[in-house]
Amino acid sequence: MSQESSLKQPPYLAAADRYADMRFQRSGHSGVKLPQVSLGLWHNFGDTAPLEKQRAVLRRAFDRGVTHFDLANNYGPPYGSAEANFGTLYAQDFRPYRDELFISSKAGYDMWPGPYGEFGSRKHVLASLDQSLERMKLDYVDLYYSHRFDPETPLEETMGALATAVRQGKALYVGLSNYPTDQMRRGAEILKDLGVPLLINQHAYNILDRTIERSGLIAASDEVGAGVIAFSPLAQGQLTDRYLNGVPADSRMAVGHFLKRDALSDEKVALLHALNKLAGERGQTLAQLALAWVLRDPRVTSVLIGASGVEQLDQNLVVLDSPALAEDELAAIDRILADHGITTP
């Protein structure tokens, strides 16, 4: 599935000062420290994006201290292509830096026909890991997730499969993604009993989506000794300047796969303009404000950003230099949400 590079590239030498500006945070009670901003390969790394553009983003990210690259078996499009393209670039550019990288992948969504192609059976979890390692040209992943809770498979089976991956040396740590709070707690208990502690929970979290606060998942993660890594911190682009004046033709909303046009009501646009005004008063873009908001909580180990190009990546990394949000600014954000019909926890 991977693209082949059509250009001869000189050997990649990572920037000598790559750790000068990045901030790292410990994940829960573990020995792992993740960059506060990590790179997610959910979009922009499938076969629809030029390989050289992907290479530029990955190189720039690592040169800026982004050591954590987050993937899943179904990232693309098509499914599997993000891992395959990453594997091509890893082999060409990043193999000498393997011990500096923290690479994660996931299993749980539909990947092949038949009853074992998705969810949380031992068969799916371990077969999918082998496929992911082959695509990425890796001997092991640093972190392996169960991508979603399987209501029809005993948690003991899914957690046991994750523990087996660690014992086989194919994963160093394990995580859960998109799990409801109660099932996450039980999963963490099972993993602890198996001697493989839960490292981190991955879930959507942003100014517009505070589900993990309402459900108690962020607090429960802290209680079981796990970190939290937030995906969709920009609400799939809504918390940027892209939708302040309509729907751009090349936007995710225009494509309408994950983000639908009906998400952009007049009320939502007014809310975004109010948040954008507050960001401007802080000397920030709306995206930078949104990232700073997620990182305000010390229980959030890292925030996952996507980047379609180097410029977008650099703009998002500016958040590392921004001042922390003051209490009155956090209160102002909550007032803006309330004024536009969104209740806060």
SS3 annotation, 80-92:
CHHHHHHHHHHHH
Count CB atoms within 10 A of the CB of residue 113.
8
pLDDT range class, residue 254, cuts 50, 70, 90: very low
Name all domains of the chain by residue range, CATH numbers in brackets: 24-237+293-324 (3.20.20.100)
Are the beta carbons of 73 and 109 closer than 8 angstroms? yes
Q: DSSP string spanning 134-147?
A: HHHT-S-EEEEEE-
Give the global pTM. 0.93
Give 314-318's long-range contacts (Cβ < 8 A, gap of 24+): 314/60, 314/64, 315/285, 315/287, 315/288, 316/37, 316/287, 316/288, 316/291, 317/37, 317/64, 317/66, 318/284, 318/285, 318/288
Mean pLDDT in the chain?
Answer: 94
β-strand partners of 305: 39
State both tokens at 218: 């962020």
- Cβ partners under 8 Å of residue 263, min gap 6: 238, 253
- For residue range 189-228, what is the model confidence (pLDDT) as tens digits? 999 999 999 999 999 999 999 999 999 999 999 999 999 9
pLDDT band at residue 313 under the 50/70/90 scheme? very high
Please state, in angstroms and rounded to a whole number, the distance separating the CA atoms of residues 277 and 274.
5
One-letter amino acid for residue 85 of the chain: N
Q: Which helix (H) or strand (E) holds 302?
A: strand 300-305
Other C-beta atoms closer than 10 Å to the C-beta of 268 total: 18
Q: Specify the 3-state DSSP secondary structure of 65.
A: coil
Least confident of 84-93, 142-151, 199-208, 264-273: 264-273
